[in-house]
């Protein structure tokens, strides 16, 4: 057994105060995202954890890549028939979380997911490298397969089939838009007295802003 009780770190890189908060959490997310991107130290700033309630009743989280965000919410892409996709289609309440260790920041988003329209999914799929497009066709995501060669053999067949031919998006693959109902921004501070600012959507579709105890 490994005892990690002596792992310690003092968080001292920034602060999050009410005096400089925008009214909309997306604006603050945009500011933080680009600050982390400019600061460096994170390989994929758009990596996020998506947590769902599975068909078996258990929560499950996994890391995916955020591909777009705007005033409507956060977009990522997946196979709709995957474990993740089926879980979201049954229960669209999801949680997204970002951890940017280089600036000692976290963002946690509670939201409701819905499929993006087909044009958005088509356009993004068309922008992907051909190898990634074929990979989406090869993989029956989350299904049991006999071995690695099974995937590689399917890919070889498709590479020949689609040589000099456009790869169209399959209808089982596309985007999810997560519309936020609550967004929490966490900034590490000394002595574990971290800054936690929560935006919560009201019944009138205004954002209420509160400071939470760390």
Per-residue pLDDT of 95-146, as tens digits, reads 999 999 999 999 999 999 999 999 999 999 999 999 999 999 999 999 999 9
Give yes or no for residue 153 having a pLDDT over 80.
yes
Identify whether 9 is part of a domain. no
| The predicted structure's pLDDT at residue 8 | 61
The catalytic residues are 192
Give yes or no for residue 5 having a pLDDT over 70.
no
The domain total for the chain is: 1
Identify whether 28 is part of a domain. yes
| The predicted structure's pLDDT at residue 9 | 65
Closest CA to 107 of 99, 95, 118: 99
Identify whether 1 is part of a domain. no
Query: What is the extent of the structural domain holding 179?
Result: 18-212
Per-residue pLDDT tens for 13-22? 899 999 989 9
Closest CA to 183 of 101, 111, 112: 111
Identify whether 11 is part of a domain. no
Percentages (nearest 5) of helix, strand, coil residues in the chain: 30, 35, 35
Contact 167, 61 (CB under 8 A): no
Identify whether 10 is part of a domain. no
Identify whether 12 is part of a domain. no
Question: The whole model's pTM is what?
Answer: 0.92
Using CA atoms, how far residue 98 sits from 63, 120, 124, 164, in Å, is 9, 24, 22, 39
Residue 30 CA to residue 70 CA, distance in Å, equals 9
Identify whether 118 is part of a domain. yes
Closest CA to 132 of 185, 184, 79, 82: 79
Identify whether 207 is part of a domain. yes
Task: List the CATH number of the domain containing 27.
Answer: 2.30.110.10
């Amino acid at each position: 057994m490994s005892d990690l009780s002596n792992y310690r770190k003092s968080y001292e890189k920034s602060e999050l105060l009410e005096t400089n908060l925008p009214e909309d959490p997306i604006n603050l997310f945009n500011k933080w995202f680009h600050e982390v991107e400019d600061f460096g130290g994170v390989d994929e700033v758009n990596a996020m954890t998506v947590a769902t309630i599975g068909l078996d009743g258990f929560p499950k989280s996994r890391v995916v890549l955020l591909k777009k965000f705007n005033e409507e919410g956060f977009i990522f892409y997946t196979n709709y028939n995957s474990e993740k996709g089926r879980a979201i289609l049954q229960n669209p309440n999801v949680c997204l979380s970002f951890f940017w260790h280089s600036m000692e920041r976290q963002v946690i988003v509670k939201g409701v997911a819905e499929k993006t329209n087909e044009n958005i999914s088509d356009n993004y799929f068309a922008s992907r490298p051909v190898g990634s497009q074929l990979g989406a066709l090869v993989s029956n995501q989350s299904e049991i397969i006999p071995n690695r060669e099974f995937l590689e053999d399917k890919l070889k067949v498709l590479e020949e089939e689609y040589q000099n031919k456009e790869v169209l998006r399959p209808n089982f693959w596309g985007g999810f838009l997560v519309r936020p109902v609550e967004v929490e921004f966490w900034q590490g501070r000394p002595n574990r007295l971290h800054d936690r600012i929560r935006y919560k959507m009201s019944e009138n579709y205004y954002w209420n802003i509160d400071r939470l105890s760390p």
